[in-house]
């Protein structure tokens, strides 16, 4: 039987990196590869209590029956309240609950991208965003970026006017760990307002600032222009697959139509579990424990990098999130290095697939949050030795 895939499906390539990374699920590998939150932070006890509450209560049938595409109303109300800040009021009708933030990216691609539409993206940007958008065959415009994130001055009014949207992760970006400065946030907001540019602000890591120095979300600076994507994956548990979109009702109504065709609605049970865990302020106590753990592991990795890496290797010190971005000497191919590293029981993600246009072979992403400190040191030392062999 010959399968004739659609053009969009045929253009998807199986990822060589994904194949290598399958090996890294073995328990004896020190993996800095996956973008997984630390399971030490999962509130198993509270989730158990919430499930008991839901399934023993009046709403057990609601938790098991079909539900509205828009999402569970109390959860939408909670989200609206949570994101109403810095002088911005969000209504529950502006909130759509989705099956993880990844679904938000897919629905937005469906809603806004025609074949050939121009999309502005950071350099580098989140691989999963590229995967979702690419299905709808856009043309990517890579925005110049530096260690402070994207450079708004590099975006002309013409670029802004002709783009379907700009996709950005202002907080502790995946893959770089960079945070966009307040000044640049304001510039992005002004640029958007001036040119009717839609901003897709993806914010799964916003709560993970180690010092609690939150910067205002771009959506609070340009609320009309911004579609804000939030997630419960990094503050509760990713296995629930729960995220949300906050936007104008005009867009939300269109996304609801698309979501209905995509999965009818997000599971009724998981939405209620999340709501009952968080409804009485649990996250205010819980998130600081996540920040403390991640800050400790980040520091351990930075210390190890400083101690072991040759001077020709560059890396940043993130102020939050889960990732460190490493630039190797340009002669070293990170994908080839991964093959060697895996043989030595260490894994990471090469940077190349995070670039929409350029071919960048000498960068890599390190995730530190799932690895205990002593193993971080061991893993970085192994990596450093392999790199030194190449630079010698």
The residues in 266-295 that bind a second copy, with binding defined as CB under 8 A, are 266-270, 273
Number of H helices, E strands in the chain: 15, 15
Question: Of the two residues 111 and 380, which places its CB atom closer to a second copy in the complex?
Answer: 111
Find out whether 229 and 200 touch, Cβ atoms under 8 Å.
yes
For residue 39, state whether it binds a second copy (rule: CB under 8 A): yes
For residue 67, state whether it binds a second copy (rule: CB under 8 A): yes
For residue 239, state whether it binds a second copy (rule: CB under 8 A): yes
Judged by CB under 8 A, the number of residues near a second copy is 79
Piece of 63-71, 85-93, 175-183, 351-359 that binds a second copy (CB under 8 A):
63-71
For residue 4, state whether it binds a second copy (rule: CB under 8 A): yes
Find out whether 368 and 326 touch, Cβ atoms under 8 Å.
no
Strands 145-146 and 149-150: antiparallel
Beta carbons within 8 Å of 168's beta carbon, 6+ residues apart:
121, 122, 149, 150, 180, 188, 199, 200, 201, 202, 218
For residue 55, state whether it binds a second copy (rule: CB under 8 A): yes
Question: Of the two residues 9 and 306, which places its CB atom closer to a second copy in the complex?
Answer: 9
Find out whether 351 and 363 touch, Cβ atoms under 8 Å.
yes
Q: Helix 373-391 and helix 334-343: axis angle, to 10°?
A: 120
Find out whether 308 and 108 touch, Cβ atoms under 8 Å.
no
Q: How far is the CB of 155 from a second copy (least distance, A)?
A: 18
Q: How far is the CB of 223 from a second copy (least distance, A)?
A: 9
For residue 71, state whether it binds a second copy (rule: CB under 8 A): no
Of the residues 24, 31, 103, 145, which one makes contact with a second copy according to CB under 8 A: 103
Piece of 151-159, 171-179, 240-248, 324-332 that binds a second copy (CB under 8 A):
240-248
Q: Which helix (H) or strand (E) segment is 268 a member of?
A: helix 268-278
Please, which of residues 183-212 interact with a second copy by CB under 8 A?
196, 198
- For residue 47, the number of C-alpha atoms closer than 13 Å in the C-beta half-sphere is 16
Please, which of residues 331-390 interact with a second copy by CB under 8 A?
none
Q: How far is the CB of 186 from a second copy (least distance, A)?
A: 19
Q: How far is the CB of 37 from a second copy (least distance, A)?
A: 8
Query: Which residue in 204, 245, 197 sits closest to 224, CA to CA?
Result: 197
Give the integer Cα–Cα distance in Å for 95 and 78: 10
Question: Of the two residues 315 and 355, which places its CB atom closer to a second copy in the complex?
Answer: 355
Of the residues 33, 76, 94, 100, which one makes contact with a second copy according to CB under 8 A: 100
For residue 251, state whether it binds a second copy (rule: CB under 8 A): yes
């Amino acid at each position: 039987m010959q399968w004739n895939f659609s053009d969009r499906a045929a253009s998807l390539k199986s990822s060589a990196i994904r194949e290598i990374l399958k090996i890294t699920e073995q328990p004896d590998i020190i993996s800095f590869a996956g973008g997984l939150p630390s399971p030490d932070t999962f509130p198993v006890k509270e989730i158990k209590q919430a499930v008991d509450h839901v399934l023993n209560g009046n709403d057990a049938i609601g938790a098991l029956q079909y539900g509205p595409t828009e999402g569970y109303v109390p959860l939408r109300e909670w989200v609206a309240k949570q994101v109403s800040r810095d002088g911005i009021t969000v209504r529950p009708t502006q909130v759509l609950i989705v099956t993880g933030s990844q679904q938000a990216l897919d629905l937005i691609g469906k809603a806004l991208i025609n074949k050939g539409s121009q999309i502005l993206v950071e350099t580098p940007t989140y691989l999963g965003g590229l995967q979702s958008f690419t299905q709808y065959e856009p043309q990517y415009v890579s925005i110049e970026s530096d260690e402070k994130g994207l450079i708004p001055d590099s975006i002309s009014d013409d670029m802004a006017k002709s783009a379907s949207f700009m996709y950005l992760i202002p907080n502790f970006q995946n893959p770089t760990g960079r945070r966009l400065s307040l000044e640049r946030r304001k510039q992005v907001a002004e640029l958007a307002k001036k040119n009717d540019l839609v901003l897709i602000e993806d914010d799964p890591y916003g709560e993970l600032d180690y010092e609690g120095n939150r910067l205002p979300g771009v959506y609070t600076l340009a609320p009309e222009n911004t579609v804000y994507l939030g997630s419960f994956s990094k503050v509760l548990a990713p296995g629930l697959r729960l995220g949300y979109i906050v936007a104008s009702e005009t867009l939300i109504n269109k996304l609801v139509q698309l979501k209905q065709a995509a999965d009818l609605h997000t599971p009724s049970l998981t939405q209620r579990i999340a709501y009952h865990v968080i409804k009485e302020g649990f996250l205010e106590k819980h998130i600081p424990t996540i920040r403390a753990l991640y800050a400790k592991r980040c520091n351990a990795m930075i210390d190890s990098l400083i101690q072991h890496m040759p001077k020709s290797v560059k890396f940043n010190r993130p102020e939050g999130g889960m990732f460190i971005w490493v630039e190797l000497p340009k002669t070293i191919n990170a994908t080839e290095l991964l093959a060697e590293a895996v043989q030595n029981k260490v894994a990471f993600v090469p940077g190349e697939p995070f670039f929409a246009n350029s071919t960048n072979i000498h960068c890599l992403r390190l995730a530190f949050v799932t690895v205990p400190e002593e193993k971080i040191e061991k893993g970085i030392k192994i990596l450093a030795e392999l790199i030194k062999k190449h630079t010698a």
